[in-house]
Amino acid sequence: MEHVTSYRTYWVLWVVLLLLTVIMLVTEAAGLPRLVTVGVILLAMTVKVVTIGAWYMHLRYERLSLILSVVLGTFATAGALYFLLIPDGLAMHRLAQ
Amino acid sequence: MTSAVLSPAEQPRADWGGGVSPFGVSWQKLMMWFFLVTDALLFAGFLVSYAFVRLAAETWPKQTDVFPMVKIAAMTFILITSSATMATAVGAAHRKDLRRAMIFVLLTAIGGALFLAGQVTEWATLIAEGARLTQNPWGPPPFAAFFFMMTGFHGTHVLIGVILLGIVTVRLARGKATGHGVEIAGLYWHFVDVVWCFIFPLFYLL
């Protein structure tokens, strides 16, 4: 679906993306508790990915069938991979200690 | 029992019944999306295997002690900026402003080339410090192996993108490129940026 977004929107989002990257760097360097650091960085990462996908890749203007195929197709498969493998990684970590 | 035979015009329309596009996009754009999904799963496999090895390892080097974070941050800024220039190029191409589209596609390609230059020097520095696929001076061997594998695959994608954008620039200069073509090239380039959005925090920061 063709949809023309204003140039200004793209460059406002560019500022947002840069700020999110700065937030990530500052959070990592601040020496906050590990859980807070991981949470903030993962949240910023998610917002960046959604911003690029929705506005720069115009996914928000596409049909729901395409959005679900792309987003669910990717994240359901990657999520299944993660939850199948990670428990074994944690078990190996416990055994090594 | 009798059944009425409906003419094609009388038959109920279904998106999956053929004859219409269920996704509402051209086949070229759909194939690019499907390619990107499969390519995303390749990187998902890398990242999940990285998480597995990292969790299973007794120790892991602190990344900020190994990598020059200012340089990595600069590379990230360059890649994000190139995504903004690419989005601007796609917008210009859809408005039939081919000159502006060409300028911004060229700027995007230059951004990609700068990112690659940063990655090449990063690899050269780490190799000079003793990093190899099977060993490294900082700890578990998989640390360097994952670094070379993930940044190598991503860098290859950037290189392919720069070549693709070079071709699009030439086609725009000759007046042969369409807004649709620029948009499909843009999808690929934004995907490269999305992948870096995962690699940068998960490998370099956490």
pLDDT in tens, B126-146: 999 988 998 888 888 899 999
The answer to the question of residue B15 being in a domain is no
Residues of B (147-206) whose Cβ lies below 8 Å from A: 179, 183, 186-187, 190-191, 193-194, 197-198, 200-202, 205-206
User: Cα(A90)–Cα(B51) distance, rounded to whole angstroms?
Assistant: 10
Considering only CB atoms, which chain A residues are within 8 Å of B57? 93, 96
Per-residue pLDDT reduced to its tens digit, A10-24: 999 999 999 999 999
pLDDT at B31: 94
B103 touches chain A (CB under 8 A): no
Residue B161, Cβ neighbours under 10 Å: how many?
24
Is residue B190 assigned to a domain?
A: yes
**3-state secondary structure (DSSP) of residue B152:** helix
- Please choose, from the candidates A60, A1, A61, A10, the residue with its C-alpha nearest in 3D space to the C-alpha of residue B193: A10
Nearest CA in chain A to B95: A4
Overall number of domains in chain B: 1
For the complex shown, is ipTM > 0.85? yes
Contact A21, B76 (CB under 8 A): yes
Tokens linked to B26: 């051209």
Instruction: Give me chain A's average pLDDT, please.
Output: 91
Residues of chain A found within 8 Å of residue B25, distances taken between Cβ atoms: 1, 62-63, 66
Q: Which domain holds residue B115?
A: 26-205
Write the pLDDT tens digit of every residue in A19-75. Answer: 999 999 999 999 899 999 999 999 999 999 999 999 999 999 999 999 999 999 999
| A42: chain B residues, CB-CB within 8 Å | 201
Q: pLDDT-based confidence at B9, cuts 50/70/90? A: low
Residue in chain B nearest A66 by alpha carbon: B23
Q: What DSSP letter does each residue of A47-80 carry, written as one string?
A: HHHHHIIIIIS-GGGS-HHHHHHHHHHHHHHHHH
The encoded tokens of residue B193 equal 């940026």
- The reply to whether B19 falls in a domain is no
B-chain residue closest to A70, CA distance: B37
Q: Give the one of B22, B54, B197 whose C-beta lies nearest to A52's C-beta.
A: B197
Q: Answer whether residue B7 is part of any domain.
A: no
Q: Is B64 on the interface with A (CB under 8 A)?
A: yes
Flag whether B6 is in a domain: no
Q: What is the mean pLDDT of residues B57-81?
A: 91
pLDDT at A37: 95
CATH number, domain of B187, equals: 1.20.120.80
Q: Is residue B156 assigned to a domain?
A: yes
Which residues fall within 8 angstroms of residue B144, CB to CB, at 6 or more apart? B126, B131, B132, B133, B135, B136, B138
| Residue B1 confidence (pLDDT) | 45
How far apart are alpha carbons A74 and A70 in whole angstroms? 6
**Considering only CB atoms, which chain B residues are within 8 Å of A53?**
190, 194
Assess if residue B16 is contained within a domain: no
Residue of A nearest to B63 (CA): A28
Count CA atoms within 13 Å of residue B44 on its CB side: 19
Buried-state track B169-197, b at ≥16 Cβ within 10 A, e below 16: bebbeeeebebbbbbbbbbbbbbbbbbbb
- Which of B11-15, B29-33, B88-92 has the least mean pLDDT? B11-15
Pick from B52, B64, B197: CB nearest A49: B197
Closest CA to B112 of B141, B143, B73, B79: B79
